[in-house]
Structure 1
């Protein structure tokens, strides 16, 4: 073929398209149109959901949060736990049905400086309260639900259970059942499952949700705290005793001593154990152990006949320490047991039961003089 200028031109070939930029046009089938439309619909739906959630998030952050109005109804005992933040409290309130939204509580808490001083404990709230009403209760410590129970030093387990039965709604059998599970109470291995001496004397806030096991576990946990503070384990090792033995010494010190005399009482106990040839032949001869063996509580004078009672806790009969504590020592007695005062004393006599005046000596003759002084005191006092 010639072009306009008379030159020869090679004819163009037409090829069937095999991909790339140039493709043959095909007539789209109805099915294809439906698929495309379906995809478009799904994409649009996804965009709608995403935008809706985004709008909700923005509203939660910057808009007015859902909130109830008024003081609410019913009753909810709400617990603020150690370490709870305002957000954590808000979530718990929402889960309990107290507030309508976490954001509402965070909003009022952030605006009120008192919220930084919310105390751990239980509070009486209501269902469907306004966030502001709920906060007013939580920032007022006087609104806490409290049942304070004081357990004094020197009580035995049976006495402690008496106190708890009187001050709580649980029965003796429930406490006794809980005491049979030492692992649940958190007793140390060296207690050998015996809680005697390990229910720490202190004042406890018994929560409305606490069960006997929880109450007793709190007491053991408080003992653990005191044991750590007085370095019970390390002091026992330094003195050449086991932690269990040191706890036993502490219970004897609690039974026999007061104030500054506690360290001296501990010294007498160690001197009698470690110097069996001095005076008492290695026997502690402590009246409180006789009363424990006889199942008696309180300061009760023992007779000569009673000191002969065959019992592993009677230190007039057995040498050395009894098998375990005879009562619950306080932190002062535990500290004294781990830090005895340096001295030669073998004997002591409390010559005045009202003031607790106690005299110490390493002389048997002087000891007899102290005993005579005590007897003279008893003839003129109703304290004996």
Structure 2
């Protein structure tokens, strides 16, 4: 057995020895293999480079160069993201790709300051140039207009006229038909059987707006009405007041406008609303809200007055359809445009039996009372603080 293994070992050793007469052929094949390997590696290298350039081209955002040419107006929507702005710019051929714009904007720290509005840009601009123009105040056509909470329609028209350059009379004419502006007809319903003032008052939602410079008065007011409907829809205003308060949305809107005018601080809005509901529906009494007298004075071209300066004949004017001094219940319509907080306060009034309130400090905070005696004490407190003219 050992001998056989030795023989096998010897044969393997013999086969492993180099054979000179094969050396020439072996060298030729090695050279060819080496050449093939070189060519293969070269091919692979070229392929890798070609693939890299293709991939690199895929990830590099397409962009124009230069400052662009043909002028074009572009509107940036309120609260628009960089991607949304980029999409809009691509749509009108200002930039070549949204990615190029977002890259350029992200590289500019000030891009977070891009404001909504209409801008003068140019077609086929480098994304970097587009970002620069969006940050240039001179390129912005519309400067925006802020309508504060509690402004009447008349006051709102004045602010809009100054901001847009359109005549006040255009807004007055457009506001005559609120249904044409988008207010659903069901808003003008009441459960208390009283007359309805079918005007745009109360439906022009207070906020900061950026209007298209080419928009007319009707389009401007439509935008504000649409915003009102959006906000009231978001908070479930119409359904909530009918379900929980058993009043129509229009009546609750009137209450919201009254509390907006009467409350000195936001925290008091739900309490003032509760006083209005208690007096109008629970006690069936006059509201005695001086703001309705001042609203009537304004409608007649007169300046509003402090409560203590109002004349008895003004407060008890029988021609005033908004009179709450001698007429029981809510007036015929809203007296201003209430904001979201006032709408919410009228929708979810504070729980309490209050029937009276009076401002008692310089911050506008009110004290609420159930009885006349309690109210008199609060009035004295207001007088002591130099707030009230009822002393």
- TM (norm. structure 2) is 0.67
Shift of 1:367: 1.6
Distance in 2, Cα, partners of 1:223 & 1:131: 39
After TM superposition, list the pairs within 5 Å mapping 1:1-384 onto structure 2. 70-73=66-69, 75-79=71-75, 89-93=89-93, 104-105=96-97, 108-109=100-101, 114=106, 121-126=117-122, 129-132=124-127, 135-137=130-132, 140=135, 144-192=140-188, 193-237=198-242, 238-257=244-263, 258-276=265-283, 282-295=285-298, 296=302, 298=304, 300-301=306-307, 302-310=310-318, 311-352=320-361, 354-378=362-386
Counterpart contact for 2:293–2:315, Cα < 8 Å: yes
Shift of 1:338: 0.8
Larger fraction in helix: 2
Q: Which residue does 2:16 correspond to in 1? A: none
Structure 1 pair 240/167, CA: closer, same or farther in 2 (3 Å)? same
Structure 1 pair 299/75, CA: closer, same or farther in 2 (3 Å)? farther
Gaps of 5+ in 2: 1-56, 189-197
User: How many residue pairs were aligned?
Assistant: 307
Shift of 1:351: 2.7
- The more displaced of 187-196 and 158-167 is 187-196
Gaps of 5+ in 1: 1-60
Structure 1 pair 107/255, CA: closer, same or farther in 2 (3 Å)? closer
- The more displaced of 293-302 and 240-249 is 293-302
1:226-248 deviations in Å (ceiling 9; x for gaps): 21233211221120000000000
Counterpart contact for 1:288–1:299, Cα < 8 Å: no
Report SS of the residue matched to 1:236. Answer: helix
Counterpart contact for 1:263–1:336, Cα < 8 Å: yes
Shift of 1:303: 2.8
Counterpart contact for 1:153–1:201, Cα < 8 Å: yes
Shift of 1:337: 0.5
- The more displaced of 342-351 and 133-142 is 133-142
Counterpart contact for 2:150–2:261, Cα < 8 Å: yes
Distance in 2, Cα, partners of 1:233 & 1:225: 12
Counterpart contact for 1:71–1:133, Cα < 8 Å: no
Distance in 1, Cα, partners of 2:334 & 2:152: 9
1:54-92 deviations in Å (ceiling 9; x for gaps): xxxxxxx99xxx997632446321235679586664342
Counterpart contact for 1:86–1:106, Cα < 8 Å: yes
1:277-328 deviations in Å (ceiling 9; x for gaps): xxxx511111111112233555522233322211221011211111110111
Counterpart contact for 1:153–1:330, Cα < 8 Å: yes
- TM (norm. structure 1) is 0.68
Distance in 2, Cα, partners of 1:132 & 1:114: 11
Report SS of the residue matched to 1:260. Answer: helix
Give the root-mean-square deviation of aligned CA atoms: 3.6
Structure 1 pair 165/135, CA: closer, same or farther in 2 (3 Å)? closer
Counterpart contact for 2:355–2:368, Cα < 8 Å: yes
Report SS of the residue matched to 2:92. Answer: helix
